[in-house]
Amino acid sequence: MAPSTSPLPSTRATSPTSSAEERESGSTSSGGATTPESGSSPAVEKTRSEAGEYHKDFPPLPEELKVEPLPIDAGTPDAWVPRDERMVRLTGKHPYNCEAPLADLWNAGWLTPQPLFYVRTHGATPHVTAQEAKEWKVKVTGLVKRPMEFTIDDLKRLFPTVSVPITLVCAGNRRKEQNMVAKGLGFNWGSAGVSNGIFTGVYLADVLDYCKPIRPIGAFPYDRDVPGRARHVSFEGADELPKGKYGTSQRLLWARDRSKSMLLAWGLNGELLSPDHGYPLRLVVPGQIGGRMVKWLETIEVSDKESQAYLHFKDNKVLPASVSADEARSEEGEHWWTDPKYIINELNTNASITVPNHDTTIPLPAEGEDDTAMTKICGYAYTGGGRRVHRVELSLDDGATWEYPAKLIYPEDKYREMPLKKHPFYGTLDLSETEMSFSWCFWEHEIKVSRLRDSPASCLSLRATDESLHAMPDRLIWNAYGMMNNCHFRVGIHNENGKLRFEHPTLAGNATGGWMGRVNEEGGDPRHPIFNEAAAAAANTADKPKKEKVDVQAMMMKDEKKDIIITAEMLKEHANEDTPWFIVNGHVYDGTPFLKLHPGGGESITLVAGEDASEDFMAIHSMDAKRQLSEFHVGKLAEGALEGAADVVEGAEPSKVYLNPKQWKKSKLISRTEISHDSRILRFGLDYPEQELGMPTGQHVYMRVKPEGSEEVIQRAYTPFSDNSLIGAIDILIKVYMPTKDFPTGGKMTSVLEKMQVGDELELKGPLGGFTFMGKSMVRWKGRERKVRKMALICGGSGITPIWSTIKGLIDCEESKETECWMLNGNRTEADILAKEHIDALRERFLEQGRRFDIWHVLSGKTADDWNGGRGRINVDLMKKHLPPPPKKRESDDEELEDTLALVCGPPAMEHAVKEGLAECGWDVPNTVVFF
């Protein structure tokens, strides 16, 4: 079992003192002994070592851990937060999602120190000062007769303070095992996404009873929400996220049940909550997944419907095993997320082996020595809903037979034997009147070392069963989000050089190691591992042939093309956006047929035209995508064809110009300017402050970023908002596409950009593009130059950016005054018009120079009564009215090019409608309309 720790360490956290009158009288409310009418001030809170007796026979309080802000968090919004450097980060440095190393979690004991508690966050940790905490208010609103706002002092004054030992578990605990079978939508939790502590606060049920929810008497269906009838309680925290604040909900009847012990908590293990764990106030829901426990709690709303928060729907669901990650992520998969049948509330039964840890070794008895040496196997087990774990069993033959049940250790029972009441900090810590069990138990089992050595399966299997006879299943059942994995926990046993070495299934995060990864590499099935030949015979797996290791390279080639040699000259002919060829693992592929079909957009292909795309392609594409690649196989690249054409040599002198069309360049975010509710100008730095960008007007750059905690690489084309007059930086204008009913995931790239903090990096490549404004009213397009005197500009949403680049180039060029412009700009609402003030200012500059620049804004959504623009969508009538007449059609390629050109950029549906509309208006679309 884990070693004991000091029972009475001091704590770092202190709280605001009470009133002067109470300090002088020495009185306290002792956890809420006063009544609402008494008006007494709250108790004086003290440090843990001063706060009164914590019985020496209770489970020892965690050792105090001195933690400080870490260098890894520098440059993030969490740079101020003290953290333990041992924690395993699962999503990079920000946001902070982590678990303790399994050995450290176990050695800390039954009560987990706050710095070693696992953390699940979606954004920055709210920075709340001590004064702000004293003034913090939680609002109770909605269908209640008595709407209220409570400070934490109010909660202590009005309601009894209670403490409850509670285990918190992320629904993703042990998810990496699922990801080793098939990569899902979640990041790689190991088996330490679990922690245990004594939470102090007030019962949510007491607060709700005080506010009196409205539940009219009558016959109502039990499973149906009825308008005006309180049935749910929604909770919302203070953390600001791109898709709204974090929120979720509980059924009202559960929330009002004191036996379920839901808490509004301010304390953990005798000290105040730390910032990462919800300081100053959080919701704690014993027996349920951690995702139901809102931190930095601000709002409680009693409602006739469940929470409408984005993450209440798009997280913490177990979807059917038949639903793939791609299907779940797609628009067609929306119904899976909104169906209440798939929501997770209560924890399932789960357990893990902590001793021996991964790669631990123990010596074997030498030949002729006494064969009675024993070793101890230990671990944790938990279950949900207030139930109790009743049985933990071990198997040496992978479940064919089971050892006698392990010894179970329930430290929480100490609080049943000797209750703690009216404590200055804990209030009442008394489990003598409840049968509920909300904490993990520990277990241990002694076994002969020789029996481990002789294990028929060469593995140690573990299962737990709770009092409802819910047992851990034999095999892993995959689901798209990797939630609630609780199959038998298996540890491999290897007899090596006179020692036994133990191999856990996985290691948390991106660390390599564990038998599941090894089985995958060997071509086996991690759901049905075979640790040695003896195990195969014992499991009678003769009819289950070993999975052949897939030859991925052969899968991606056509036999008839693999010997065709592609020279450097041939590749160069297709290093363009029209007929892009690219290289993967030394073979050349033609991406032209797939430009319109690629799920990431055609830019994902044109971006690597003429280049080696092996690293990105192999990292982010599924086996199905690699199999499909053979359809586009052209041949094998000649040896040496790419020499000297790829990256800039490391350590070379920085060039005068930043951009390089054949090289990804790292760039840090140096500032962010919000210009509307959903539009931002992001400024990224170049290699050095005096460097020029090197961007021809009208062309674009590609941006590439790999979200933290994801294996996916996202890349998109953007036309800079700045021009070459900006030295040392580049400005990118983005419109953040928020989730909607029709677009539930929001914009993939803009969601990542919205989360970026100053100092975060992405990669840029460019310039690229088939259209260039050259000055003197001249443009180059499709390899030919032409003078443009009339320019029609049609855009929607963020499609304004390439249009902006061109018209700004026109106004800044004194020799282009003969070019006149007409613009149609379509958006949903006036607030959605991107960079409207910038466009209006540019129009004024045109007019001051006596140059024509007509703008007509069209709004498809709700408009104000005084809106003087267009309503509806861009259509043929608007094109005829607000654009110049179409140019005359050319009779032959030799005929002089007309001086009228249209530039179009917007969402695919808009571009399609515009293409058909311009054709109807008489435009020669292939030769006079540029689609960016």
- Across the strands, what pairs with 588? 583, 635
- Cβ atoms of 428 and 156 within 8 Å: the answer is no
- Cβ atoms of 344 and 317 within 8 Å: the answer is yes
Residues near 538 by beta carbon (within 8 Å), at least 6 away in sequence? 397, 398, 400, 456, 457
Question: Could you tell me the end-to-end alpha-carbon distance of the chain, in angstroms, rounded to an integer?
Answer: 65
Kind and range of the H or E run holding 453: helix 449-453
What the block records as the tokens of 909 is 């549906």
Q: Which of 571, 698, 726, 549 is nearest to 643 (CA)?
A: 571
Q: What CA–CA distance (Å, rounded) separates 853 from 632? A: 45
- Across the strands, what pairs with 213? 144
- Cβ atoms of 777 and 789 within 8 Å: the answer is yes
- Across the strands, what pairs with 251? 232
Q: What is the DSSP string of 867-922?
A: --SEES---HHHHHHHSPPPPPPPSSTTSPPPSEEEEEES-HHHHHHHHHHHHHHT
Q: What CA–CA distance (Å, rounded) separates 626 from 630? A: 8
- Cβ atoms of 121 and 234 within 8 Å: the answer is no
Mark whether 316 is an active-site residue. yes
What the block records as the tokens of 526 is 């991690």
> Cα 336 vs. chain centroid, distance in angstroms?
19
Residues near 242 by beta carbon (within 8 Å), at least 6 away in sequence? 123, 736, 738, 746, 751, 754, 755
Q: What CA–CA distance (Å, rounded) separates 451 from 500? A: 11
Q: What CA–CA distance (Å, rounded) separates 400 from 457? A: 10
Phi, psi values for residue 408, rounded to 5°: -100, 140
Active-site entry in 316, 479, 485, 825: 316
- Which residue has tokens 């800044």? 812
- Cβ atoms of 74 and 760 within 8 Å: the answer is no
Active-site entry in 170, 441, 487, 905: 170
Active-site entry in 73, 315, 398, 832: 315
Residues near 116 by beta carbon (within 8 Å), at least 6 away in sequence? 62, 65, 84, 86, 87, 100, 104, 105, 108, 195
Q: Which of 766, 763, 738, 765 is nearest to 750 (CA)?
A: 738
- Across the strands, what pairs with 159? none
Kind of pairing, strands 361-363 and 282-284? Answer: unpaired
- Cβ atoms of 427 and 31 within 8 Å: the answer is yes
Mark whether 487 is an active-site residue. no
DSSP conformational letter for 205: H
What the block records as the tokens of 585 is 């693992």
Kind of pairing, strands 929-931 and 900-905? Answer: parallel
Q: Which of 390, 314, 313, 383 is nearest to 348 (CA)?
A: 383
Q: What CA–CA distance (Å, rounded) separates 222 from 196? A: 34
- Cβ atoms of 105 and 275 within 8 Å: the answer is no
Q: What CA–CA distance (Å, rounded) separates 157 from 37? A: 10
Active site residues: 170, 315-316
